[in-house]
Amino acid sequence: MSTKSGTKKTLAIAVAVIVILAIVAGAYYYSTSTAPPMQETSTMEQSMVTEMTSQVTSAAAAGPIKIGLITPLSGIYAPDGMQVQQGAQVAADELNAAGGIMGQQVQILAQDEGSTTSDTVNAAQILVNQQQVNFMIGPYFSGDVKAVLPITTGQKIVQILTVSSLDSLMVPPQNKYLFRVTLPDSGYAVMALAWLSMIHAKSFVYEAEDYGYAHEIGGFLTNQSTSSGMNMLSSDYFPDTATDYSSAINKIASLKPDGVVVVMEGTNGIDFQKQYGANPAVNKIPIFHLETLLILPTNAQSINTAVPGAINNVFVGPISTITTKTAAFMQTFQTKYGISASHYAMDGYDGVMILANAVNKAGSTGSDAVANALSSTDYTGPGGHVVFLSNHNPTVGDGYLTGTIYQIVVTGNEIHYNIVWPSSAANATAVNPATGQGYS
Amino acid sequence: MYHVPASPILGLYLSLISGISYGLIISLLAGGLSLIYGVMNNVNTSHGAFYMMGGFLTFFAVSSLHLPIVVSVIFAFAAAFVVGLVFLYVLIPKKMWVSADPDSQNLVMILFLALAQVLQQGAFIIYGGGSVAVPRIAFGNIVAPGGVYISYQTIISIAISLLCYVGLFLFLRDTKIGKAIRAFSQDRELAEAMGVRVSSIALMSFGLGVSLAALSGSLLSSIYSITASTGWNELVIAFVIVTFGGIGSISGSFLGGLVYGIIYSITQFFFPAYSFIIALLLIYIVLVNKPTGILGEIIERA
């Protein structure tokens, strides 16, 4: 017994010593990697130090332009989050190959947004306070953007949003250094209304997840649908814990709308469509999933396998806007990473490029100068044509950012995505699920 | 703006049908959790992960082993049983398998949580973050009075759930090992004195419990989506049902699942944003008046 407890005690002390040594080593490494050279006492050594110091100073002056990036790098949103990082890196590589920005290389420093807002705030503090980034891209989620704004605006860090869509973020004074290059929630509503017009709907229901952005889209839809002569029969918001939607779908069957607009960005959208497509009482009513995982063929296939035909003629609306540069970017991305680029990658790319253009225009990395330069941005990239409004949201509409509406067509076991809107990008006409014919 | 449908009575009726279907299926998941806790005194915090695993095992059997879907469901059930036994044997010290010591129970809970994380990450690494494609056992629907469509998959899942409950009831009542489990859960010391082996009982109960969770996941993977992150919501729901029905009571889990499903569906029809909260609130009200749950009873444990 005494031998056992003695061994345990020795082990515990050994572990404690190792941990303390590791902490000390880490602290020493960190301090020496950022600290200036130590002062020497002899004249010769002093002149060497002076020379070294001036070399260090010159290197710092010509050091990289650091763009911080906060995006999900773990958890269920990691695949999309990493696309943002990868897109940004493609842009950085292109810029560096061409000599960088103002002769300085571009460095993307990514931090994981994590699963909680406190993780995101921590990430922002690391980027801003420790790594002293010049600019920031992200965060991904609007709630996290709100949480880090005090840090970024406090340090006057120009911040580009490539995913977050909440319109209510873009109000003064917090939007002074905040710019968005992706479709805002008001743009989502524009897409939904365009779809409803396309299918000649007079009434619709809105089914969404219970998040702020979805409520904002619902609010825009409520206001704008009435003026468009459409009747919103109901709007329902579901917690993300929901998996069974049979009750909600029975309600849709009882309301008999001309169309169903769905905003569920996660697997809840897959759950919903699986159950919707399996229910003959509703599955002929056209349904439109905004910004959905169903844009991925594997997810669409999972529904088709479970319920053959349940995904046929479903409309999906990713918020990417097709331009003349989209195809080339997708090719580059595919070559570099071996996967297809989503709009997350394209917007990540555009974010960096728009920043680069602004820095070049401003002639400095100073926040006010760059923010001023950004305000007059007129840029076309793989994610869309970006011109900022006075509130630093991008312009929404034909020729700018529109999003894209696809209709899924199932042929045998193959899933096809036909572009049906906007007309400038369309390669097919929309088909009415009830009749199998086009909309007149 | 929310518009009430033309007939609230119709809404209630539609929700009742949906709720009974949903409740009967989800009660299978809760039944497994109740069995494990009732026998082992340990909360299986990896229960949701086994639900997730059931879906992935089914997908694996269908897509990689090319087994028919019915055989794949049985495969998922059996494989989860074996996997559960292995994990219990490897991860949890034997003396902690059945323990009334709170420190031991806490440790086991944490170990099971760790197991859940490992299973989730494993699924994520192998299959990515997407939803897996599991076909249904049968396609098509029946039409209930009032025009409510119920899919054959739902009916089959309900039937299997009921069969499992009946099977479990008969197993516990009529088989030697079932009687041993019941005796053990009522009075461990006396049961041990009568020759009942703790390790056998624990292994059987845990294996059966997690395989029920996997079976639930397997059946539901074609109705709902199953991804690597599935299971945590289901774990919470299972806890709610088990607590509501009576911890350790299999019939309580059955009834609890039914009640939860109905309440959830009705509230989803009328107040979807608050469906989960309202269901929890109503259950809380019951527990305030009967803390042991509907069919639970206070058992003095040594």
pLDDT single digits (tens) B220-259: 888 888 888 899 989 999 998 998 888 878 888 999 999 9
* Average pLDDT estimate for A51-72: 67
- pLDDT value of residue B17: 85
| Token pair 């490539």: residue | A162
pLDDT in tens, A124-159: 999 999 999 999 999 999 999 999 999 999 999 999
Residues in Cβ contact with B272 at an 8 Å cutoff, skipping those fewer than 6 apart: A236, A237, A238, A242, A248
pLDDT in tens, A369-408: 999 999 999 999 999 999 999 999 999 999 999 999 999 9
CA A327 to chain centre: 20
- pLDDT value of residue A2: 52
**Distance separating alpha carbons of residues B107 and B101, to the nearest angstrom:** 10
**pLDDT tier at B5 (50, 70, 90 boundaries)?**
low
Which of A293, A292, A263 lies closest to A185 in space, CA to CA? A263
- pLDDT value of residue B258: 92
Mean pLDDT, chain B, as a whole number?
Answer: 87
Q: Where are the domains of chain A?
A: 65-183+323-387, 186-318+404-421
- pLDDT value of residue B297: 62
pLDDT in tens, A224-265: 998 889 999 999 999 988 888 988 998 999 899 999 999 999
ipTM score: 0.82
- pLDDT value of residue A253: 92
CA A414 to chain centre: 28
Better-scored residue on pLDDT, A387 or A293: A387
Q: Which tokens is A116 given?
A: 């909680």
Domain range A186-318+404-421, CATH architecture = 3-Layer(aba) Sandwich (3.40)
Mean pLDDT, chain A, as a whole number?
Answer: 89
Candidate from B19, B273, B277 with C-beta closest to A237:
B273
> Which CATH topology does A65-183+323-387 take?
Rossmann fold (3.40.50)
- pLDDT value of residue A59: 39
Domain B8-289 has CATH 3.40.140: no
* pLDDT tops 50 at residue B4: no
Residues of A in contact with B277 (CB under 8 A): 239
A 5-24 → B contacts, CB under 8 A = none
**pLDDT tier at B99 (50, 70, 90 boundaries)?**
confident
Which of B106, B299, B288 lies closest to B185 in space, CA to CA? B299
- What single string gives the DSSP state of each residue in A49-105? HHHHHHHHHHHHHTPPEEEEEEE--SSTTHHHHHHHHHHHHHHHHHHHHTT-BTTB-
Residues of B in contact with A281 (CB under 8 A): 147-149
* Average pLDDT estimate for A44-54: 43
Which of B83, B82, B112 lies closest to B96 in space, CA to CA? B112
**Distance separating alpha carbons of residues A67 and B4, to the nearest angstrom:** 50
How far lies A60's CA from each of A55, A358, A370, in Å?
A: 8, 22, 20
**Distance separating alpha carbons of residues A185 and A172, to the nearest angstrom:** 18
pLDDT in tens, B120-168: 999 988 988 778 888 889 888 888 887 778 889 889 999 999 999 899 8
pLDDT in tens, A175-209: 999 999 999 999 999 999 999 999 999 999 999 99
**pLDDT tier at A27 (50, 70, 90 boundaries)?**
low
pLDDT in tens, A331-344: 999 999 999 999 99
Q: Is A245 on the interface with B (CB under 8 A)?
A: yes
pLDDT in tens, B200-214: 888 999 999 999 999
- pLDDT value of residue A8: 76
* pLDDT tops 70 at residue B289: yes
Q: Tell me the whole-structure pTM to 2 decimals.
A: 0.82
Amino acid identity for residue B30 in this structure:
A
> Do B133 and A232 lie within an 8 Å CB cutoff?
no
Same fold, A65-183+323-387 and A186-318+404-421: yes
> Do A250 and B135 lie within an 8 Å CB cutoff?
no
Q: Is B136 on the interface with A (CB under 8 A)?
A: yes
> Do B131 and A270 lie within an 8 Å CB cutoff?
yes
How far lies B16's CA from each of A174, B9, B11, B244, B262, in Å?
A: 48, 11, 9, 19, 6
A 276-315 → B contacts, CB under 8 A = 278-281, 293, 296, 298-299, 301-308
Q: How far is A16 from chain B (nearest CA, A)?
A: 22
- pLDDT value of residue A26: 62
**pLDDT tier at A105 (50, 70, 90 boundaries)?**
very high
B 258-297 → A contacts, CB under 8 A = 264-266, 268-269, 272-273, 275-277
- pLDDT value of residue B278: 84
Q: How far is A5 from chain B (nearest CA, A)?
A: 20
**Distance separating alpha carbons of residues B48 and B213, to the nearest angstrom:** 7
> Do B224 and A274 lie within an 8 Å CB cutoff?
yes
- pLDDT value of residue B132: 85
> Do A267 and B149 lie within an 8 Å CB cutoff?
no
Which of A229, A260, A198, A205 lies closest to A404 in space, CA to CA? A198
Residues of A in contact with B17 (CB under 8 A): 250
